[in-house]
């Protein structure tokens, strides 16, 4: 059974960083790209970027370039997403997601989501 298990909720102050993990199981980590998706309260999902664990290729949405870092550890089958210089607008649920189609852009497996609250 494919599972993506994310780290727990976070409360951060403006300007702080946050790093979220996504541990996968039930498939070969290097067989599929791993994506990160942000969903602000009451809003639709927004794709942030992807990493290909096999070759380390990373693609970021321009909106998140420079403030978001996506990494993957193939020894632990875990992906990470770090956001620096948090603002109130970063309050959102962050999901990791993957595709059974390898590099295809449909997301049939999702983590449970990690709520990040930015509050002073």
Partner 1 sequence: DIQMTQSASSLSASVGDRVTITCQASRDIGDYFNWYQQKPGKAPKLLIRDASNLEAGVPSRFTGSGFGTDFTLTISSLQPEDIATYYCQQYGDVPFTFGQGTKLEIK
Build a one-symbol-per-residue string for 11-50: x at contacts with partner 1 by CB under 8 A, - elsewhere: ------------------------x-------xxxxx---
Greatest CA span in the chain, whole angstroms? Answer: 42
CB of 8 or CB of 75, closer to partner 1 = 8
Of the candidates 47, 74, 71, 51, the one whose C-alpha atom is nearest the C-alpha of residue 61 is: 47
d(CA 61, CA 59): 7
Structural contact between residues 109 and 2, judged by C-beta atoms closer than 8 angstroms: yes
Task: State the nearest-atom distance from the C-beta of 95 to partner 1, in Å.
Answer: 6
The residues binding partner 1 (CB under 8 A) are 35, 43-47, 59, 61-63, 95, 97, 101, 104-108, 110-113
């Amino acid at each position: 059974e494919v599972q993506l298990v994310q780290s727990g909720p976070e409360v951060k102050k403006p300007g702080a960083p946050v790093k979220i993990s996504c541990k996968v199981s039930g498939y070969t980590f290097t067989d599929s790209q791993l994506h990160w998706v942000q969903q602000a309260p009451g809003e639709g999902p927004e794709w942030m970027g992807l990493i290909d664990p096999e070759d380390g290729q990373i693609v970021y949405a321009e909106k998140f370039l420079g403030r978001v870092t996506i990494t993957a550890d193939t020894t632990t089958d875990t992906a990470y997403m770090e956001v620096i210089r948090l603002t109130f607008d970063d309050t959102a649920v962050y999901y990791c997601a993957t595709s059974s189609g390898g590099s295809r852009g449909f997301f049939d497996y999702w983590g449970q989501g990690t709520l990040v609250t930015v509050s002073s």
